[in-house]
């Protein structure tokens, strides 16, 4: 089993539709021992049953914007695991009003919240876990195409994802002397709790489905399997990478062109039902 004797922390799981759930499931099936965190009491009620599903009794409170909770997290891990082998960072947030309208109208407060929660949290969480992480470990975060490219309604979160991807590269260099790898997965659109805050998300899903080379949207299981590779020793030579799991959509320059029933060349989008 790829993750036999491996111990890892999953930060940011919300429910069984989360991408982080798909990652946890893939790692658990391959023998990993897992710990989880929750943001508040409401999410704790969702996370604990998930932990039990994966045979874990380790569920810790964590608001990534509170230094004292990060300090406590280090102590929890040391007490329960000694050390861990991998960390999954699945944390992102921006005020809903900052995901609509014009990007130029983004308030300083919304910008700071998005950057602190979605980007700096990777840095602070990594720093908190370094004393309790084994050498040759792996850190993985989640990003999206809205970082390097424009995506409607993504606005300040796109800027945050761009900063997150840059942070992956700088952290990869910082931690390389210990053999700790830092990578990101850029997943295609998936119906998750986080995605519910994106305007016209159903249209984005449909567009993606019609225009990917594989003609489909990806699943949390598919993302989980790619994450399993990056977290396991199979990816021992991979660090600082942004790995796309989006059915190939990121390679497209224009929408996919097809022929209609009359043999006329049209966009695939124009033939949707």
What confidence tens digit (pLDDT) does each residue in 180-226 have?
999 999 999 987 666 656 667 788 888 888 899 999 999 999 999 99
Q: How far is it, in rounded angstroms, from Cα 135 to Cα 189?
A: 33
Q: Is residue 183 part of a domain?
A: yes
101-137 pLDDT per residue, tens: 899 999 999 999 999 999 999 999 999 999 999 999 9
pLDDT at residue 265, rounded to an integer: 66
Name, in order, each residue with C-beta under 8 angstroms of 143's C-beta and a sequence gap of 6 or more: 161, 164, 165, 168, 184, 185, 186, 242
pLDDT over threshold 60, residue 92: yes
Question: How many distinct structural domains can be found in the chain?
Answer: 1
- Asked whether residue 226 is domain-assigned, the answer is yes
- The answer to whether position 2 is within a domain reads no
Whether pLDDT at 141 is above 60: yes
Which CATH number characterizes residue 242's domain? 3.40.50.720
CA atoms in the 13 A half-sphere facing the CB of 35: 25
Domain assignment present for residue 261? The answer is yes
**Which residues span the domain enclosing 108?**
7-271
Catalytic choice (76, 144, 244, 249):
144
> Rounded to two decimals, what is the model's pTM?
0.93
Mean pLDDT of the chain: 92
Residue 56: its pLDDT value, please? 97
Mean of pLDDT values over 245-252: 95
Is 21 a known active-site residue?
Answer: no
Q: Does 95 reside within a domain?
A: yes
- Which residue did the predictor score with more confidence, 81 or 197? 81
196 in any annotated domain = yes
Catalytic status, residue 154: yes
- pLDDT for 55: 97
Tell me, yes or no, whether 77 lies in a domain. Answer: yes
With cut-offs at 50, 70 and 90, classify the pLDDT of residue 148: very high
- Alpha helix (H) residue ranges in 155-238: 155-175, 201-211, 220-231
User: Is 1 part of a structural domain of the chain?
Assistant: no
Query: What does the pLDDT read at residue 203?
Result: 82
Compare 9 and 254 and report the one with higher pLDDT: 9
pLDDT at position 66 over 90: yes
The pLDDT score that the predictor gives to residue 269 is: 65
Could you tell me whether strands 265-267 and 181-187 are parallel, antiparallel, or unpaired per DSSP bridges?
A: unpaired
DSSP 8-state class, residue 222: H
pLDDT of residue 152: 87
Q: Residue 133 phi/psi, 5° resolution?
A: -115, 135
Catalytic entry in 21, 38, 154, 249 = 154
Model confidence over 11-55: pLDDT tens digits? 999 999 899 999 999 999 999 999 999 999 999 999 999 999 999
pLDDT tops 60 at residue 273: no
Whether 217 and 187 have beta carbons less than 8 Å apart is answered as: no
Dist CA 271 CA 189 (whole Å): 21
**What is the torsion angle, in degrees rounded to the nearest 10, for the CA atoms of residue 181, residue 68, residue 99 and residue 146?**
0
């Amino acid at each position: 089993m790829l993750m036999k004797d491996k111990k890892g922390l999953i930060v940011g799981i919300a429910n069984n539709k989360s991408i982080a759930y798909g990652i946890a499931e893939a790692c658990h099936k391959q023998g990993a021992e897992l710990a989880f965190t929750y943001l508040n009491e409401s999410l704790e009620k969702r996370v604990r049953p998930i932990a039990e599903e994966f045979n874990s009794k380790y569920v810790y409170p964590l608001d990534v914007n509170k230094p004292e909770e990060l300090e406590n997290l280090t102590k929890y891990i040391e007490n329960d695991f000694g050390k861990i082998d991998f960390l999954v960072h699945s944390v992102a947030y921006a005020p809903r009003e900052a995901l609509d309208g014009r990007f130029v109208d983004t308030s300083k407060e919304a910008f700071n919240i998005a950057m602190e929660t979605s980007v700096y949290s990777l840095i602070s969480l990594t720093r908190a876990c370094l004393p309790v992480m084994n050498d040759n470990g792996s850190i993985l975060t989640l990003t999206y195409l809205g970082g390097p490219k424009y995506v409607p309604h993504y606005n300040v979160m796109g800027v945050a994802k761009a900063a997150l991807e840059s942070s992956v590269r700088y952290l990869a260099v910082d931690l390389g002397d210990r053999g700790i790898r830092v990578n990101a997965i850029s997943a295609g659109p998936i119906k998750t709790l986080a995605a519910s805050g994106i305007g016209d998300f159903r249209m984005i899903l449909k567009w993606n489905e019609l225009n990917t080379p594989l003609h489909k949207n990806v699943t949390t299981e598919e993302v989980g399997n790619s994450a399993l590779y990056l977290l396991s020793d199979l990816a021992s030579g991979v660090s600082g990478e942004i790995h796309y799991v989006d059915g190939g959509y990121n390679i497209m320059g224009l929408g996919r062109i097809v022929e209609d029933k009359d043999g006329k060349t049209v966009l695939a989008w124009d033939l949707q039902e």
